[in-house]
Amino acid sequence: VSSSNLLRRNVRILLIGDPGVGKTSLILSLVSEEFPEEVPSKAEEITIPADVTPEHVPTNIVDYSALEQSEENLIEELQKAHVVCVVYSVDDENSLDRISSYWLPFIREHNQGENRKPVVLVGNKIDLVDYSTIDHVLTIMEDFNEIESCVECSAKTLHNISEMFYYAQKAVLHPTAPLYIMEEQD
Ligand code: GTP
């Protein structure tokens, strides 16, 4: 556990993932506690005051939109973030495949410094399906030990929305022991 995380007095959360998986909807659903039927391509950066977050730490939530941002800009945001929520849509297998083929390698590649940036995997639109993607996600977690937790949720029904942001805060403030210790024992 890094001491810098224990002392951290704010948390910066970045949401990334393929177009259309629901990043902007997740942020706006959290803030307004209802599903926005129409969303802009990118939400404004929001700050949640300490007293209304579960860990009592002011929390910034940052959206990403490929339409509005260059890759350079995304890399800057990645480097500023303390935790990255990588979002896929549970009804779109391609968006889940892209987590391990594109997004997680991209985060590793652009992560300055020695520590891996904690990641929360977020499967949105669970209201659309009657299955779970968790088995697939567990196999991804075996290969990427920076994944601190995973959650299936719905911006539409608000299912697990506050939990998702809580897991992101927790990944920064109370990270679990690194899994590579287990790997070394193999
Ligand atoms: P980009 O701006 O293209 O990166 O997309 P995004 O990831 O921000 O997705 P956005 O929030 O714009 O949502 C894309 C579409 O999915 C919209 O039509 C949303 O209404 C819809 N959507 C988002 N979340 C949910 C959900 O939980 N359930 C359902 N059924 N639809 C959703």
CA 135-148-20 angle, to 5 degrees, is 65
Look at strands 119-124 and 83-89 and give their pairing.
parallel
Atom of ligand 1 nearest to the CA of 124: 27
Residues 6+ apart with CB under 8 A from 134: 123, 150, 152
Q: Is the Cβ atom of 29 under 6 angstroms away from ligand 1?
A: no
pLDDT tens digits, residue range 108-122?
999 876 578 999 999
- For the Cβ of 154 lying below 6 angstroms from any atom of ligand 1, the answer is yes
Q: Does any ligand 1 atom lie closer than 6 A to the CB of residue 23?
A: yes
Taken in order 170, 171, 174, 179, is the CA torsion positive or negative? positive
Substitution candidate for ligand 1 out of 28, 34, 39, 67 with most atoms within 8 A of CB: 39
Residue type present at position 84: V
Whole-number Cα distances in Å, 101 to 79, 105, 107, 119, 144: 20, 7, 11, 15, 11
- ipTM (interface pTM): 0.99
Tokens representing residue 90 in the block:
């549970």
| Average pLDDT per consecutive 10 residues, the chain (186 residues; last block may be shorter) | 62 98 98 96 95 91 96 95 97 98 96 81 98 96 95 98 95 73 46
Give the pTM.
0.92
